[in-house]
Amino acid sequence: MKIYCDYHPTVAALWSCPKCDSQFCSNCVSKRVVDTYGKKKAHFFCPKCNVAVDRLSIGNIIEPFWTQLHKIFVYPFQLMPFILMTAVSLFILVLYGLPFIGFILSIGFSFLIVKYSFAILRRTAQGRFSAPKINSDMLTGDISMVLKQIVFYIIIGLANIWVASHMGFVVSFLFQVTMILFAPAMIIMLVATENLIAAFNPVLFMTMAWRIGWSYSLMFLFLIMLKLAPSFLYRYFLSYLPGAIQIFLIPMALIYYLFVAYHLMGYVLLQYHEEIGYDVDVEEDDLIADGTIQKQEGKSEILNQVDILIQDGKTDEAIDLIKEEGGSLKNDVQLAERYYRLLSLKQQIPEMLEQAVPYLDMLLKQNAAPEICKVYRDCAAHDPAFLCSSPTLLKIASFLSNSGKPEEAVQVYNRFIKSNPKSNQVPRAYFLAASVIHEKLKNREKAIGILNAVIKNFPQHEIIPYVQRYLKQMNVVKQGG
């Protein structure tokens, strides 16, 4: 489960404080560079406790692979893999009809493709989503691992032949199904351990698949779809094309499948590296340079000064500094957040409630629903009559409803209606409140009464057609029930 920064609820946390158990993104922790024996090293500290923070798993900032399939499937169309796919397919087309030379070169091409596929898997498993470059390091590095992969496929093929010739059709079929099912786990185990024997150990690769859980089944499903795709592509499309085009596109499709499959397995290895026991050694700066994650905007100078004062326990001085630079509060959500929390900490409630109004508006622009609801609840607890801007109040009601708090959502809608009786949004607030009452609080009669009152009191409002349609749907539901 992804862990989010305490100060920025929409940003994944990278650091955790062992003392106060808070989580922070890299923009919130305090960074101090120490020169040790001529080598500079960065140390990171909690902005609350001023103690060294622990690094969270890199998997915390990685989105689940099933949400990134659109990116995974277009991965081979990055410049380097696309050039390689095209070049190899062109060579095969040119050399077609030269059996001996073609056979010799096909061995070299196969080695190159497997080598590059492994580079894709290894790079992805280290959190780098840009395709590897084709250079001397890529071509000459990890040769032993490529040979192990080739031996892996040879062993699988020979085992299939032996079982088919000695164990009969049923056993052979079950063996092949098992190999197909666990082949991805075996390849991942081979990469994780760099041990061919471990890759064939059923206790290890089956345990690994079990640890990944249902996500392994989902990954396997997509790999099977990819495996079958070239056959379907040939049967329903390529077979109708001229021979030369077929010769070019068939290897193109096969190489594409291989690149996507290895990228997907690398992503799964990255996402579940802790469960698998695979070490991911990559720095945040590398991920930012690679484009894997986006760097947040740096702290302003005043925010740096405020954080230093907070770390030193000088909260009153921090509050005074923010007040002196009041103009920055309108544009810097981080500074607005610090100010709000400092006022809450010092129990300066009137000032905190006043600061909460613009702070909530700023959070709304970031669509930070959890933090918006939390701040609103805190303010309402101190002042039951607390009000923020009208658009933000309506959005808070929506957030509360979507987060499983329908009673609170209806209360906020009512608060908006009472505080803005002449607003053009009042009929809309009534309608939204009625929908929550009907759908989530299961009070159909009360919802109908509110909707009929909206039609009666606001007959010319633009929302009336929606209200009438909703009432008809409610009647259909009753009749159907």
What is the 3-state secondary structure of 412-470? HHHHHHHHCCCCCCHHHHHHHHHHHHHHCCCCHHHHHHHHHHHHHHCCCCCCHHHHHHH
311, 386, 442 from 415: Cα distances, Å: 39, 9, 21
DSSP 241: S
pLDDT on residue 177: 81
pLDDT on residue 282: 58
Cα–Cα distance, 10 to 4 (Å, whole number) = 7
Cα–Cα distance, 47 to 19 (Å, whole number) = 12
By CB atoms closer than 10 A (0-12, 13-18, 19+), residue 288 is middle
Q: What is the separation, in whole angstroms, between the first and last Cα of the chain?
A: 39
Mean pLDDT, residues 29-39? 60
pLDDT per residue as tens digits for the range 379-394: 988 888 888 888 888 8
pLDDT on residue 309: 77
Count helices and strands in the chain by DSSP H and E runs: 22, 5
pLDDT on residue 479: 45
pLDDT on residue 75: 92
Cα–Cα distance, 243 to 203 (Å, whole number) = 47
CB distance 141 to 115 below 8 Å: no
Mean pLDDT, residues 269-296? 64
What does the buried/exposed string (b/e) look like for 119-153 if buried means 16 or more CB atoms within 10 Å of the residue's CB? bbbbbbbbbbbebbebeeebeeebeebbebbeebe
Q: How confident is the model at residue 293 (pLDDT cuts 50, 70, 90)?
A: low
pLDDT on residue 287: 55
Return all residues near 135 (Cβ < 8 A) that are at least 6 apart: none
pTM over 0.75: no
User: Per-residue pLDDT for 481 more than 50?
Assistant: no
pLDDT on residue 322: 82
pLDDT on residue 76: 92
| Packed helices 390-402 and 349-365: angle between N→C axes, nearest 10 degrees | 80
pLDDT per residue as tens digits for the range 196-205: 888 888 888 8
Higher pLDDT, 430 or 15: 430
pLDDT per residue as tens digits for the range 81-139: 999 999 888 888 887 767 666 667 777 788 888 888 888 988 888 888 888 888 777 77
CB distance 124 to 290 below 8 Å: no
Among 94-103, 176-185, 344-353, 364-373, the range scoring the smallest mean pLDDT is 94-103
Cα–Cα distance, 146 to 86 (Å, whole number) = 22
pLDDT on residue 37: 46
Q: How confident is the model at residue 296 (pLDDT cuts 50, 70, 90)?
A: very low
Q: How confident is the model at residue 77 (pLDDT cuts 50, 70, 90)?
A: very high
Q: What share of the chain in percent tops pLDDT 70?
A: 84
DSSP 42: E
Mean pLDDT, residues 189-217? 84
pLDDT on residue 480: 44
Return all residues near 293 (Cβ < 8 A) that are at least 6 apart: 61, 284, 287
Mean pLDDT, residues 237-252? 82
Q: Amino acid identity, residue 359?
A: Y
Return all residues near 271 (Cβ < 8 A) that are at least 6 apart: 59, 62, 64, 65, 215
State the chain's mean pLDDT as an integer. Answer: 80
By CB atoms closer than 10 A (0-12, 13-18, 19+), residue 459 is exposed
Q: What angle do CA 448, 452, 453 make, to 5 degrees?
A: 115
